[in-house]
Amino acid sequence: MSAQIFQHTHRVTYSECTVGNHIYYARYLDLLEAARGEFFRSLGKTLLAWQEAGVIFPVLEAAVRYQAPARYDDVLTIAVWLTELRGVRATFAHRITDASGRLILEAETKHACTNLAEKPCRPPAELVAKLKPFVQPAAAEG
pLDDT in tens, the chain (142 residues): 578 999 999 999 999 999 999 999 999 999 999 999 999 999 999 999 999 999 999 999 999 999 999 999 999 999 999 999 999 999 999 999 999 999 999 999 999 999 999 999 999 999 999 999 999 987 644 4
What is the per-residue burial (b if ≥16 Cβ within 10 Å, else e) of 58-94?
Answer: eeeebebebeebbbeebebbbbbbbbbbeeeebbbbb
Q: pLDDT tens digits, residue range 33-70?
A: 999 999 999 999 999 999 999 999 999 999 999 999 99
Angle of CA points 24, 39, 141, to nearest 5°: 70
Domains of the chain, CATH where assigned = 6-133 (3.10.129.10)
- Closest residue by Cα to residue 35 from 99, 107, 84: 107
How far apart CA 102 and CA 132 sit, in angstroms, is 28
Residue 3 is predicted with a pLDDT of: 87
How far apart CA 55 and CA 48 sit, in angstroms, is 9
Q: Percentage of the chain with pLDDT > 70?
A: 96
pTM: 0.93
Residue 137 is predicted with a pLDDT of: 86
Residues 6+ apart with CB under 8 A from 115: 54, 55, 56, 121
